Structure 1
Amino acid sequence: MAHYDIVIVGGAIVGSSLAYHLRKEGFSGTVALIERDPQFAHAATTLSMASIRQQFSIAENIRLSRFTLGLFRRLREEFGTEADIGFREGGYLILAGEEGLPILKANHETQIAEGADIVLEDIEALRRRFPWLSPEGVVAGALGLSGEGWFDAHALLALLRKALRGMDVDLITAPVAAIGREGNRVTGVTLDNGERLDAGIVVNAAGPNAGKVAAMAGIALPVEPRKRTVFVFEAREKFADMPLLVDPSGIYVRPEGSVYLTGGAESEEGETAADPADFEPEWSLFEETIWPVLATRIPAFEAIKMTRAWAGHYDYNTLDQNAVIGPHPQVGNFLFANGFSGHGLQQAPAVGKALAELVVHGGYRSIDCSAFGYERVTSGRPFRELNVI
């Protein structure tokens, strides 16, 4: 029976970031990073849209993403001169109609207060910037001038995993079948092959599977998988200046080389947890929901051709679509890094740093994640992010 000071359940971007920052913070104990899908074929990390933004409604979320932006800025200093994640600072453009304008303005004030480079413009100014944009149903938009865009999720994860190989972290490939608990402490994990790993601390970084992992320890966590489909399409018109555009309907679109990516058609009303094994795209969403919106917002997209699609799962927090970060208030050696609801990839480096500081130093130093604590779950007190994409 092996013993580890820390066992991290989930080895994609969140778990890998935590393991990496534990060593960077000087943690000298033993660390195991467990991942059931070593190729990350079904990981939320690699099936995401791989983007980063500062346009959130909550200051704490902006701070998490700004930390990650700082890592992107010093990527080669951190990981070596060959490090490259293809970060394209194309910006986000979040549009609002009359009804959504007060929220857009309030969000913008929060973003500016946090130092984000976001400009709020009326539709006339936006039309001067982007002549291809239709003003129908839009009165204003918030545009990220810098610090927002998209990147290669596989490349970022590969940088972390490669670094871990030289950091004395045991990378274990197996599903976790059970978590041992005695009173107010977890004692370790059992793998599906029957192997038992004793642990001083267990960290739940299991992405969409986080709710089930917490339940293994007898803990309720309102996180479940929600399927999201991304479509790839071709168009005759190429808009090199196009940011990641978010329509008031929630439909988004952005360029990707010679094609475009789009999604955001799922309705949360009445939505239930996805089958963890279901990665079949919801093909009907494109013609029934997405295409009409794109054709209205960008008239040149009346003539487009969808070529392929993929589906991934959000680790969706049903309480407030915000992350749960930090220790359980009673089971103090069980830590959460869950429920990012689509923001996990861009927030993972910051959360890994914050939790590493908590473990090593006994408190948050770089970013205070107290507002994301589990206590709000037990009290049923949402800490709601309004800008969920």
Structure 2
Amino acid sequence: MAESTDVVVVGAGVIGCSIALELARSGLRVVVVDKFGGAGNGSTSASSAVVRFTYPTIAGVNAAWESRHCWEAWRHHLQAPAGEPLAAFNRCGVTLLDVDFAPCSLFTRHFDKAGVPYEKWNAQELSERLPAVDAGRYFPPRPVDDDEFFADASARLGALHTPDGGFVDDPQLAARNLAAAAQRHGAAFRWKTEVTAVMRRGGRVRGVRLEEGTELSAGVVVNAAGPWSGRLNRLAEVGGDFTVGLRPLRQEVHHVAAPAGYHDAAGDGHAPVLADMDLGTYIRPEGREFLLVGGTEPECDPLEWLDDPDDGSPHPTVSQFRTQVTRAARRLPGLRIPNKPRGVAGVYDVTDDWTPVYDRTELAGFYVAIGTSGNQFKNAPLVGRLMTTLIQGVEGGHDHDRSALAHTCEHTGQTIDLGAFSRRRRPAASTGTVLG
């Protein structure tokens, strides 16, 4: 059976749903195809959904700062009806401990250009503002079985605090909100089906074939398949001119009870998100009583790269739970370490420089929004607009490879050079971690 549409988006995570919404808003007929049974059921569901601005590139900072304005006015962004349940942005702030290999100055020079408010705290101010936090310097991160792990602090740390950061409370609901908005603009969704072929003719994409045999004819196909994106690229026979590689990486986020009184010093009811690259963790509030603890890929930890993203177990392991939560307890002395692991695991789609690829490909009409590297949930509201700018420009005849397109942000007025996310870029400035 053959059907036709203007655009096929493969992947209904928060990125794919945002792209579907913005393309549908532009007047195009959009069909979204996803292997799962609903929006945000893949990697999105395991996201910690932190909204921060600490990227080592101006494009990354501008994207995150613009997206924060979208999250803050989420109902307006979606044009959602009054009764629709929505994901909520919690503006609790983000505090980044100042470490030598990713010093505060790496970010503040971009903050000054982008207009991101921030505060620089010395060690005394950090202890006064966050009394539950041990301000000791323990760098470099070590395995928790290392004899030096519990060595005394070598110094005390300051921090960079961005009061406008925070987190989104329900990442899967955020994806569903975007999907519902896209449907209001006419987008259709095909659940529990996979793409088995990318159709092409004369050097241009012509659509996709689904596993039940349906052929969806389309002049534009967008790969937003997350950790499954490499598989789709191979079907399309693209990627030969990419200068950055992509690999699936399994990661865990753990759920623990917050220390007694941890949030009491916060005026809005939540202590800030704490980014601790000194010990190799991040800590995010989860309501008033719990915390999420994730890792920042310290060099001492082996990374769980996958050949097939379907092989990634969704269940937390004892070893990773013990490692990450013990590190968190070193930073929060009042934190108790449970005997049984609790949390989630997901799979990142990681590029060599931990920076996404939002670009066209050598196959005309085939676009990619991939390599999100565990750090692009926050930018999802903007990514749909970036990809719409890209697709409209390239389909209109612009040579993006020769002269990169730019996107002007609605809320901040900043301009983002889309060449920063090119498949053919030189590796971007990066911390080599999920921080970007």
Structure 2 length as normaliser, TM-score? 0.81
- Cα offset, 1:282, TM superposition: 2.6
Aligned pair 1:259/2:290, yes or no?
Answer: yes
Cα distance in 2, alignment partners of residues 71 and 124 from structure 1: 34
Cα distance in 2, alignment partners of residues 131 and 166 from structure 1: 47
Q: Contact 2:30/2:188 (CA < 8 Å) preserved in 1? A: yes
- Cα offset, 1:41, TM superposition: 7.1
- Cα offset, 1:218, TM superposition: 1.0
User: Which residue, 350, 356, 373 being the options, matches 2:422?
Assistant: 373
Aligned equivalent of 2:335: 301
Aligned equivalent of 2:106: 106
Cα distance in 1, alignment partners of residues 434 and 370 from structure 2: 16
* 3-state SS, counterpart of residue 161 of structure 1: helix
Cα distance in 2, alignment partners of residues 332 and 272 from structure 1: 34
* 3-state SS, counterpart of residue 46 of structure 2: coil
- Cα offset, 1:35, TM superposition: 0.9
* 3-state SS, counterpart of residue 300 of structure 1: coil
Aligned pair 1:140/2:182, yes or no?
Answer: no
- Cα offset, 1:302, TM superposition: 4.8
Aligned equivalent of 1:214: 233
- Give the alignment of 1:241-320 within 5 angstroms: 241=266, 242-247=271-276, 248-257=278-287, 258-264=289-295, 266=297, 271=303, 273-274=305-306, 275-277=308-310, 278-279=312-313, 280-287=315-322, 289-302=323-336, 308-317=342-351, 319-320=352-353
Q: Contact 1:231/1:306 (CA < 8 Å) preserved in 2? A: no
Q: Contact 1:32/1:172 (CA < 8 Å) preserved in 2? A: yes
Q: Contact 1:123/1:135 (CA < 8 Å) preserved in 2? A: yes
Aligned equivalent of 2:247: 224
CA distance 1:233–1:270, shift in 2 (3 Å): closer
Aligned equivalent of 1:335: 367
* 3-state SS, counterpart of residue 136 of structure 2: coil
Q: Contact 1:235/1:305 (CA < 8 Å) preserved in 2? A: no
Cα distance in 2, alignment partners of residues 225 and 149 from structure 1: 24
CA distance 1:149–1:192, shift in 2 (3 Å): same
User: Which residue, 168, 177, 182 being the options, matches 2:186?
Assistant: 168
Name the aligned partner's letter for residue 126 of structure 1. Answer: L
Cα distance in 2, alignment partners of residues 166 and 290 from structure 1: 42
Q: Contact 1:227/1:313 (CA < 8 Å) preserved in 2? A: yes
Cα distance in 2, alignment partners of residues 39 and 172 from structure 1: 9
Q: Contact 2:257/2:336 (CA < 8 Å) preserved in 1? A: no
Q: Contact 1:51/1:151 (CA < 8 Å) preserved in 2? A: no
Cα distance in 2, alignment partners of residues 40 and 7 from structure 1: 15
Q: Contact 1:234/1:306 (CA < 8 Å) preserved in 2? A: no
Cα distance in 2, alignment partners of residues 253 and 18 from structure 1: 30
CA distance 1:66–1:228, shift in 2 (3 Å): same
Aligned equivalent of 1:388: 434
Cα distance in 1, alignment partners of residues 296 and 71 from structure 2: 30
Q: Contact 1:149/1:243 (CA < 8 Å) preserved in 2? A: no
Aligned equivalent of 2:57: 58
Cα distance in 2, alignment partners of residues 308 and 91 from structure 1: 25
Q: Deviations over 1:304-344 (max 9, x none)?
A: 56561210111111x2110101211x323111101010122
CA distance 1:180–1:70, shift in 2 (3 Å): same
Name the aligned partner's letter for residue 353 of structure 2. Answer: D
Cα distance in 2, alignment partners of residues 234 and 306 from structure 1: 12
- Cα offset, 1:122, TM superposition: 1.6
Cα distance in 2, alignment partners of residues 165 and 209 from structure 1: 24
* 3-state SS, counterpart of residue 158 of structure 1: helix
- Cα offset, 1:40, TM superposition: 5.0
Q: Contact 2:7/2:30 (CA < 8 Å) preserved in 1? A: yes
CA distance 1:106–1:164, shift in 2 (3 Å): closer
User: Which residue, 377, 380, 384 being the options, matches 1:352?
Assistant: 384
Structure 1 range deviating more: 364-373 or 118-127: 364-373
Identity among equivalent pairs (%): 26
- Cα offset, 1:47, TM superposition: 1.1
Unaligned runs of 5+ in 2: 138-155, 397-404, 409-415
Q: Deviations over 1:12-67 (max 9, x none)?
A: 2111111111132x32x322111111235751111110121111111111121122
Q: Contact 2:281/2:294 (CA < 8 Å) preserved in 1? A: yes
Unaligned runs of 5+ in 1: none
Q: Contact 2:206/2:217 (CA < 8 Å) preserved in 1? A: yes
Aligned pair 1:89/2:91, yes or no?
Answer: yes
Aligned pair 1:198/2:244, yes or no?
Answer: no
Aligned equivalent of 2:357: 324
* 3-state SS, counterpart of residue 370 of structure 1: helix
* 3-state SS, counterpart of residue 46 of structure 1: helix
Name the aligned partner's letter for residue 11 of structure 2. Answer: G
Q: Deviations over 1:254-294 (max 9, x none)?
A: 2212111112065567635324222232321222x223322
- Give the alignment of 1:68-79 within 5 angstroms: 68-77=67-76, 78-79=79-80
CA distance 1:16–1:49, shift in 2 (3 Å): same
Cα distance in 2, alignment partners of residues 58 and 41 from structure 1: 28
Cα distance in 1, alignment partners of residues 87 and 41 from structure 2: 20
Q: Deviations over 1:148-173 (max 9, x none)?
A: 33332122112111122222212112
Cα distance in 1, alignment partners of residues 182 and 106 from structure 2: 41
Cα distance in 1, alignment partners of residues 392 and 89 from structure 2: 31
Q: Deviations over 1:201-233 (max 9, x none)?
A: 111100111111111111226222211111111
CA distance 1:111–1:148, shift in 2 (3 Å): farther
Name the aligned partner's letter for residue 280 of structure 2. Answer: G
- Give the alignment of 1:22-61 within 5 angstroms: 22-24=23-25, 26-27=26-27, 29-39=28-38, 42-61=41-60
CA distance 1:255–1:195, shift in 2 (3 Å): same
Structure 1 range deviating more: 47-56 or 290-299: 290-299
* 3-state SS, counterpart of residue 165 of structure 1: helix
